[in-house]
Homo-oligomer: A and B are copies of this chain.
Amino acid sequence: MTEPDADTARVTRQLDFLAEIEKLKSVYRATPLADLSRPENSAEHSWTLALYAVVLADQAGPGVDAMRAVRMLLVHDIVEIDVGDVPIHAQGGTAHDSAAVQAAEARAAERIFGLLPEDLAADLLATWREFEAAETPTAIFAKSLDRVQPVLLNLQGGGGSWIDYDVTLPQLDERVGTKVARGLPGLWTRVRARVEPWFAARGKGV
């Protein structure tokens, strides 16, 4: 294969991947936008999280590479093109981390990142897997951001998915708070203080 042909094949795969990910804009989440005009989608959610990582980098613990977290957050939901979004409060909080969902997402990651040239596919698949495993300081930080943004957006929108799923504050603590606090304990204390009155006012604070 001549050099120009090899480069054509490479660019073709890069553009194939970039065309495929356009589909994430039509994957809708449980959280409505702040103006309640429609549900948030997973593409714009990912943009928000990347900016959370940039803006809250100084709140991260030691060993966190904020720009690596940005890369993770840009790709973390791409598997939803095949699997859809599984809301954190669905099925009493049991669906999101189920083995079936995790297996489907792993297959989706291989298919979608596999559209890329091999070096890029391996790089972004490893980035996605590091995020999913939530073991490195950077992945723990990124996961905390992924969990805290819907809390703040629900609060902006007057309750959002907490109303739809009839969520109590202890359930929020268990399903969300523990994971936010793992990477950003100080931030969770502040955010919890902001949301506590919303739950208390509805008799769902305890």
Which residues of A are at the interface with B, using a C-beta cutoff of 8 A? Answer: 7-8, 11, 14-15, 17-19, 21-26, 33-35, 37, 40-41, 43-44, 46-48, 50-52, 54-56, 59, 67, 70-71, 74-75, 116, 120, 124, 149, 152-153, 156, 186-187, 190
Contacts and interface: CB of A to CB of B under 8 A. Distances in A.
B50 A18 contact: no
28 contacts: A7-B186, A11-B187, A11-B190, A14-B55, A14-B56, A18-B149, A18-B152, A21-B51, A22-B33, A22-B48, A23-B34, A23-B35, A25-B33, A26-B35, A41-B44, A43-B44, A43-B48, A46-B47, A47-B74, A51-B74, A51-B75, A54-B74, A54-B124, A55-B116, A67-B67, A67-B71, A70-B71, A70-B74
Contact of A25 (B15, B44, B67): B44
A18 B67 contact: no
A21 B7 CA distance: 38
A40 B55 contact: no
Contacts of A18: 48, 51-52, 55-56, 149, 152
Copies of this chain assembled into the complex: 2
B26 A37 contact: yes
A152 B20 CA distance: 12
A11 B148 CA distance: 14
Given A26-B35, A26-B37, 15 more contacts: A8-B190, A11-B186, A11-B190, A17-B55, A22-B33, A22-B153, A23-B34, A26-B33, A43-B47, A43-B48, A44-B47, A47-B74, A50-B50, A55-B120, A70-B71
A14 B58 CA distance: 10
Nearest to A191: B15
A19 B41 CA distance: 17
Given A15-B152, A70-B70, A21 B41 contact: no
Contacts of A37: 26
